[in-house]
Structures are given as C-alpha cells and as structure tokens.
C-alpha cells in the first residue's frame, strides 16, 4: 500500500526556517517525481515544488523561489522541503504527493499533510 507521511510542521516566527519531511513507503520511491502542494487556511490548493526521480531537476512556484528548497534521499525513501525566510503567507497545510508514472503528470497519491503556521 502506498503511504506518504509528512512531518516537521509547526509554529515559526516570520523570517524563520522549517524543514518538512515526507516518508514514503509501498512503492519504488526512486522511480517517481515527487511534489509539495499547499493549502492556506480557507484557500485552495497551490502547487509549490517538484523534483525529478533522481533529484537532478527541481521546479518551484515563483512565490517560493530562492526561499524554499526541495530535495530527496532515495536511500531513505524520503522527500524534504527546506523553507527559509518564512512569511505569514506561507501559513498552510503542506502535502507531499506523488506524480503518477507512465508519463501521466497527475498526483495519484497524497499524504495527510502537515500544518505550518508562520506567526509572531
């Protein structure tokens, strides 16, 4: 069974840093692109970043470029999101999600999310 479990969320002050983790199991992690998607309180879904199977390519939404870094450790079946210079508008539930294989660019499995609150 495919499982994605996020951790690392919490309360952080503006300007602070946080590192989110996503533990993957039930599939060959190193064979899939992975994503972070967020949902701010009362708002819709927003794609944040994704990373190629081997970590060689990464992409970000403009609002987090230069502040967030997505990475992965295929030996540990883990995905990460390092978030620096956090702002109030980064407050959201952060989900990790797998891109369906076979050339289909859809998010077929998601975790339950971890809440990040940026506030003084």
Binding positions for another protein, rule: CB under 8 A: 4, 37, 39, 44-47, 59, 61, 95, 97, 100, 104-113
Q: Which is nearer to another protein, 23 or 100 (CB)?
A: 100
Supply the minimum distance, in Å, between the C-beta of residue 98 and another protein: 10
Pairing type for strands 114-118 and 10-12 reads parallel
Q: Which is nearer to another protein, 49 or 83 (CB)?
A: 49
Supply the minimum distance, in Å, between the C-beta of residue 44 and another protein: 5
8 token code pair:
């690392």
Residues paired with 79 in a beta bridge: 22, 72
Residues paired with 103 in a beta bridge: none
Q: Which is nearer to another protein, 44 or 66 (CB)?
A: 44
Burial degree of 72 (CB within 10 A; 0-12, 13-18, 19+): buried
């Amino acid at each position: 069974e495919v499982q994605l479990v996020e951790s690392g969320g919490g309360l952080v002050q503006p300007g602070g840093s946080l590192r989110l983790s996503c533990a993957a199991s039930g599939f060959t992690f190193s064979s899939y692109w992975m994503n972070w998607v967020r949902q701010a309180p009362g708002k819709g879904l927003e794609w944040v970043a994704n990373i190629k199977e081997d970590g060689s390519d990464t992409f970000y939404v403009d609002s987090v470029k230069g502040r967030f870094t997505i990475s992965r450790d295929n030996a540990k079946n883990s995905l990460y999101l390092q978030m620096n210079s956090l702002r109030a508008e980064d407050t959201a539930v952060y989900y990790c999600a797998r891109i369906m294989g076979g050339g289909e660019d859809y998010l077929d499995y998601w975790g339950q999310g971890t809440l990040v609150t940026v506030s003084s």
